[in-house]
Amino acid sequence: MMGSVSNGMKTGLLAACLALPALAPAQTLAGEGKAPSRAQQLMGDIAPKMAELTDKVLYGDIWERPQLSKRDRSLVTVSALVAMHRPDQLKSHLLLARQNGVSEEELVEALTHLAFYTGWPNAVSALAVAKEVFRKQ
């Protein structure tokens, strides 16, 4: 079944999942009689299964696996968003990376490093996003 899904659609679904960094695992699911999660708020009305997968699988399982720290997961996610040129999602993941212990200096160094692997324009755009995000903190 997955073979019938286009690469563009797969990329879009991955980008949608990556776009939800403010969905910390500590947030709760609406179905449990608690406040709706950020995923539930953003897409639960139109795509309840996607919101459920975001809450339970992406943030409830993948982000909680002990093989990588949340700090490392943040660096990987930021790198993927830079490579895919996803500046809107990058904003919130830069904030999450800061919450997960990555310093601004480390993030800028990662973005500089990524320029040589993901393309100069991607890195320059990411640095503009980082500048905006860091000023707001």
Same domain, yes or no: 83 and 105: yes
81 lies in the same domain as 29: no
> Residues 32-36: what's their mean pLDDT?
78
Domain around 124: 70-136
User: What is residue 62's DSSP assignment?
Assistant: G
* Longest CA pairwise span in the chain (Å): 48
Say whether pLDDT at 4 is over 60: no
Among the candidates 16, 39, 64, a domain finishes at: 64
Tell whether the model's pLDDT for residue 55 goes beyond 70.
yes
| CATH number, position 117 | 1.20.1290.10
CB 24 within 8 A of CB 40: no
Q: Which residue has the higher pLDDT, 17 or 66?
A: 66
Note whether 87 and 54 are same-domain residues.
no
- pLDDT for 126 equals 98
Q: What is the mean pLDDT of residues 85-97?
A: 94
107 lies in the same domain as 123:
yes
Question: Per-residue pLDDT averaged across 75-95, rounded?
Answer: 96
Residue 32's pLDDT is 58
Q: How far apart are CA 110 and CA 75, in angstroms?
A: 8
Q: Are 29 and 40 in contact (CB under 8 A)?
A: yes
How many domains, the chain? 2
Query: pLDDT at position 34, please?
Result: 82
Same domain, 44 and 82: no
- 10 Å Cβ neighbour count for 93? 28
Which comes out higher in pLDDT, residue 12 or 50? 50
Q: How confident is the model at residue 1 (pLDDT cuts 50, 70, 90)?
A: very low
Burial of 51 (0-12, 13-18, 19+ CB in 10 A): buried
What per-residue confidence (pLDDT) applies to 92? 86
Residue 5 pLDDT:
43
- List the single range of 23-27, 36-40, 97-101, 114-118 with lowest mean pLDDT: 23-27
